[in-house]
């Protein structure tokens, strides 16, 4: 690939970013994401089709489509890890989650619309749609801003740039301005 090519000496592209107990937490996070983002919205959409609530189905469908597209794209990048470098594979959930925030916000806006309560929609569907929209906005917002951006993305980039042992920081050396100046033998702090 052109962006972030795989190079010799880089870590195994198929190896997971998180290992040990953190991997178990990631698995639990994935299960909750599946329930909140896929299973419950799918049931909501199917119930909406059965009951004739086209407005609720139309509001939830973009979110469900984005999640399905993300799962498909992540499946492609995981199936051929030697074709897609780690930064490219990490960019998939980050970009989809960022876009999903807009879809979930629009879903919530449509569910909270005053006209929605006037339509011939069962009260349980109104409550279920609003709860699902809020839950998805909260979960995917936390996923993006409390996990993907502060933990997953930096750890993956560190592993890509620092090598196989980059997770503990032992392989990675950082050079400060002072160490560069010391290497030149010239003290540029005074100039």
- The model's pLDDT over 64-123, given as tens digits with 9 standing for 90+, comes to 999 999 999 999 988 887 788 888 889 999 999 999 999 999 999 998 887 766 677 888
Cα separation, 31 vs 37, in Å, equals: 10
Contacts of residue 54, defined as CB under 8 A and 6 or more positions apart, other chains included, come to 48
Give φ, ψ of 38 to 5 degrees: -125, -55
* pLDDT (0 to 100) of residue 9: 63
Mean pLDDT of the chain: 82
Could you tell me the pTM of the whole model? 0.78
Cα separation, 84 vs 91, in Å, equals: 11
**Residue 165: is its pLDDT beyond 80?**
no
Task: Confirm if 152 and 167 have CB atoms less than 8 A apart.
Answer: no
Task: Confirm if 110 and 126 have CB atoms less than 8 A apart.
Answer: no
Torsion of CA 179, 180, 182, 185, to 10 degrees: 170
Residue 130's nearest CA partner among 95, 100, 153, 104 is: 104
Quickly state the pLDDT bin for 16 (edges 50, 70, 90).
Answer: confident
CA–centroid distance for 188 within its chain: 43
Give φ, ψ of 87 to 5 degrees: -60, -35
Higher pLDDT, 180 or 149: 149
**Residue 124: is its pLDDT beyond 60?**
yes
Mean pLDDT, residues 125-146: 95
Cα separation, 135 vs 144, in Å, equals: 14
């Amino acid at each position: 690939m052109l962006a972030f090519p795989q190079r010799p000496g880089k870590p195994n592209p198929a190896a997971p970013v998180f290992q040990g107990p953190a991997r178990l937490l990631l698995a639990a996070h994935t299960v909750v994401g599946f329930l909140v983002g896929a299973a419950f919205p799918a049931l909501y959409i199917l119930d909406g089709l059965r009951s004739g609530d086209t407005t609720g189905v139309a509001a939830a469908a973009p979110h469900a489509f984005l999640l399905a597209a993300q799962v498909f794209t992540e499946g492609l990048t995981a199936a051929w890890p030697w074709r897609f470098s780690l930064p490219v594979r990490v960019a998939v959930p980050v970009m989809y989650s960022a876009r999903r925030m807009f879809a979930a916000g629009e879903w919530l806006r449509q569910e909270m619309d005053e006209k929605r309560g006037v339509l011939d929609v069962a009260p349980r569907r109104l409550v279920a749609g609003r709860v699902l929209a809020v839950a998805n906005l909260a979960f995917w917002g936390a996923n993006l801003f409390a996990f993907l951006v502060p933990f997953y993305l930096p750890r993956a980039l560190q592993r890509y740039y620092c090598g196989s042992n980059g997770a503990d920081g032992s392989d990675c050396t950082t050079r400060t301005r002072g160490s560069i100046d010391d290497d030149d033998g010239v003290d540029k702090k005074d100039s």
